[in-house]
Copies of this chain bind each other. A is one copy, B any other.
Amino acid sequence: MNRSWWGWGTTDRALPDAECVALASMLPGLPDRPRAVPRIEDLSLPPSRIGPTGLWVSTAPDVRAAHAFGKAYRDVVRALAGDLSGAPDAVALPRTEAEVVDLLDWAARGGVPVVPFGGGSSVVGGVEYRGGGPWVSMDLTALARVLEVDPVGRAARIQGGALGPVLEDQLRPSGLTLRHFPQSFEFSTLGGWLATRAGGHYATLHTHIDDLVESLRVVTPVGISESWRLPGSGAGPSPDRLFLGSEGTLGVITEAWMRLQDRPRFKASASVTFADMTSAMSAVRAISQAGLHPANCRLLDAGEAALSGAAAAPVLVLGVESAVLPVESRLTELTDIAREHGGAVSTGEAGKDAAAEAWRSTFLRMPYVRDGLARMSAIVETFETACTWDRAAELYETVRAEVGAVVEEVTGTPGLVTCRFTHVYPDGPAPYFTVIAAGRPGDEVRMWDDVKTASMAILGRLGATITHHHAVGRDHRPGYDRQRPEPFAAALRAAKAALDPAGVLNPGVLIGPV
């Protein structure tokens, strides 16, 4: 497996040039060939401004380049343009927690910003630094072990730098699984999930990684914070909840006890087609409020369904799983509700549903498609939110209309704005929007930034969150600052000053100037 330094995932899955060209034919006015992928050795990296540290640090060009960006669309475009001007001066590669402590001590003494880096899959500018001075990226993927498994309480103590497959491989002999499968599963770490409150594959109930946490161990510049393994507690504000979502600003999550599941023995899925989004949304709302907690409950609007190869009508993908009991009757309960709201149900045999499988494979391939289109100067990006059901229809219509208008204004041609609900709650859905439009070579980042600025303002106006599970990073700061209650911001700044008095941890994320 060879990780791509400029784009998503692994180099072997990047789209061939011919496929990039074919894809681009759906948009008018794009170039007739893809932009070449630059080689790191042909690019000029600014010289490292950090001298010998005596610590486990690399200044090799390929290592610095691979830690220069996250994996947002704007990151991919900047990488394709060969712009490594913001690359870290050095990359720390701690092999032990003690080395994390040493690195933070060194950084605090010298006032050098440190940006924790897990899998580097941030799509919100969470793993770069925009302050201009020397900085260090701290890659935590060497801390990747499952240290302990408790088969009775079904939990494991896992190091924060473990990538999804790395931790699942180690859990497999126990028969247990974390079952947290974000789209970035292969290329993101447990610590990254926790620091960003990642969303997993469960569409209802335990949607965020937050719900799977038993305790955390966090290296802060003033000491190690370790909470107790507790299934539940009412002792003051939750210590873990302060670090969940702290995005590397308060400390580095080196270990967590995580709640595990037995591997599911029974699975069933179905897809349900609707005539329109109104009836589809009413079905999803009824399902989310029925207390049935399906593992999958993802609604694709007509545009999204068409992109994933299904019919051009809203499709709801339902899935149920259990390690204990057959699930057919539960699936029937769900599809019955969907039918009552006008859905046409299709279930495959043996628990396999063709539309569900197609969606899953499209889902995992999507970032590679994005990179292929980016090489063709298309604009391809997503943003996600959540709102209450009473506002869901208005949000869906308004975002499509207004973001669509901005896309046309910015790019000069109409684009696509599609939507799916990735997670749903009894009180509202988490809509996830995809924007696809023709960009102009060299102008893509500015164009996208204009669309993004407008979309943040629209979400804020509608009272919808700036992010459901992509995190805040640097790119979402305008929306986050608008959304966050000011007294809470004061409390968070004070907590930050107490834990990171030198202000070296991921400056610009959540707190302070970007």
Contacts and interface: CB of A to CB of B under 8 A. Distances in A.
Interface string A173-206: 0000000000000000000000011110000000
A427 B154 contact: yes
A323 B285 CA distance: 14
A485 B429 contact: no
A153 interface: yes
Interface of A: 150, 152-155, 196-199, 207-208, 214, 218, 220, 222-239, 241-247, 250-251, 259, 262, 285, 289-293, 322-325, 329, 333, 337, 386-390, 423, 425-430, 463-472, 476, 479-480, 483-488, 490-495, 497-499, 510
A235 B491 contact: no
B153 A230 contact: no
Contact of A488 (B208, B225, B472, B487): B225
Contacts of A499: 487, 490-491
A150 B324 CA distance: 37
A105 to B, nearest CB: 15
B232 A425 contact: yes
Contacts of A285: 152
Contact of A429 (B231, B425, B463): B231
A192 to B, nearest CB: 12
A282 B195 CA distance: 35
Nearest to A219: B487
A482 to B, nearest CB: 10
Among A250, A323, A471, A488, max chain B CB count under 10 A is at A488
Given A228-B465, A427-B153, A494-B495, A487 B251 contact: yes
A162 B232 CA distance: 26
Contacts of A485: 224-227, 239
Nearest to A386: B232
Given A222-B487, A323-B291, A471 B234 contact: yes
Contacts of A493: 498
Contact of A466 (B235, B242, B322): B235
A226 B466 CA distance: 16
Nearest to A233: B465
Contacts of A467: 233-235
6 contacts: A154-B289, A199-B234, A223-B486, A231-B429, A232-B386, A490-B499
A236 B509 CA distance: 9
B250 A423 contact: no
A387 B230 contact: yes
Nearest to A222: B487
Given A154-B289, A154-B427, A428-B153, A487 B220 contact: yes
B245 A237 contact: yes
B429 A486 contact: no
